[in-house]
Homo-oligomer: A and B are copies of this chain.
Amino acid sequence: MPDQARPGTGEQAKQHALERLRQAILRGDMAPAQRLVENELAEQLGVTRASVRGALFELEAEGLVERIRNRGSRVRVVTVEEAVAITECRMVLEGLCAAKAAESATDDQLAELTGLGEAMAKAVADGEPVTYSELNHQLHTRIRQFSGQRTAVELLEKLNAQLVRHRFRLALRPGRPQQSLGEHLAMVETITARDPQAAEEAARAHLTSVIAALRE
């Protein structure tokens, strides 16, 4: 396995650089608006500049970095206003996914959703916001997957990536898990009841609540 150890040069250099950079940005290792110099990153990651360059283009398409011609790249900072606009898009798209999931998920999948809902309730009861946030993310992901809407899933993943910083902020807000738990359970219930319209309503209600919380 010459991959995990030192994939530095030759093989899929660009993919490697892309993954490393994306992780670094998503984990917040890089200060917001920090300048990204291609040469520095190349040396740091042990790949050539061309690979870094390609990765940066890809990240620009994903909305994670900003590029100005002949001026360089920075990690993109998402203002609260933008976060709201993005979440409004999420609202309608997740509504669509919830409705489709209610129609076309298998019984096994519905059981998994119910299980996730119970786990979330337990996490709130035990006062574990980190676990809750994990489960939250997982629930949304599963619902999307069960909808079978590949296009919507792609769009949502891209949108979500841009929101990591704000998501973090929300998760640690005291009282927030208690409020969102009910909304999440409503989503699970309506989907398992195979009621598309109610599921869409529930998803939109939840995201509306997220928007309100984003605005503080």
How many monomers of this protein are in the complex? 2
Cα of A93 to Cα of B82 in the assembled complex, Å: 16
Chain B residue nearest to A82 (CB atoms) is B151
Q: Which B residues are CB-close (under 8 A) to A88?
A: 96, 100, 149, 151-152
Q: Is the CB of B85 within 8 A of A149?
A: yes
Chain B residue nearest to A96 (CB atoms) is B92
Q: Is the CB of A89 within 8 A of B57?
A: no
Cα of A173 to Cα of B47 in the assembled complex, Å: 53
Q: Is the CB of A93 within 8 A of B89?
A: yes
Within 8 Å by CB of A93, from B54, B92, B100, B150, lies: B92
Q: Is the CB of A85 within 8 A of B151?
A: yes
Cα of A155 to Cα of B151 in the assembled complex, Å: 11
Q: How many residues of A contact B (CB 8 A)?
A: 21
A183 within 8 A of B: no
A86 within 8 A of B: yes
Q: Is the CB of B54 within 8 A of A89?
A: no
A193 within 8 A of B: no
Q: Which B residues are CB-close (under 8 A) to A150?
A: 82, 85
Cα of A88 to Cα of B89 in the assembled complex, Å: 13
Please list the residues of chain A having a beta carbon within 8 angstroms of any beta carbon in chain B. 54, 57-58, 61, 82, 85-86, 88-89, 91-93, 95-96, 100, 149-152, 155, 159
15 contacts between A and B (CB under 8 A): A57-B57, A61-B61, A82-B150, A82-B151, A85-B150, A85-B151, A88-B96, A88-B100, A88-B151, A89-B96, A92-B92, A92-B96, A93-B93, A151-B159, A155-B155
Closest 7 CB pairs between A and B?
Answer: A92-B92, A61-B61, A85-B151, A92-B96, A86-B151, A89-B152, A89-B151
| Known contacts A88-B152, A89-B155, A92-B92, then 20 further A-B pairs from the complex at CB < 8 Å, ordered by chain A residue | A54-B57, A57-B57, A57-B58, A61-B61, A82-B151, A85-B149, A85-B151, A86-B151, A88-B96, A88-B100, A88-B149, A88-B151, A89-B93, A89-B96, A89-B149, A89-B151, A89-B152, A91-B96, A92-B93, A92-B95
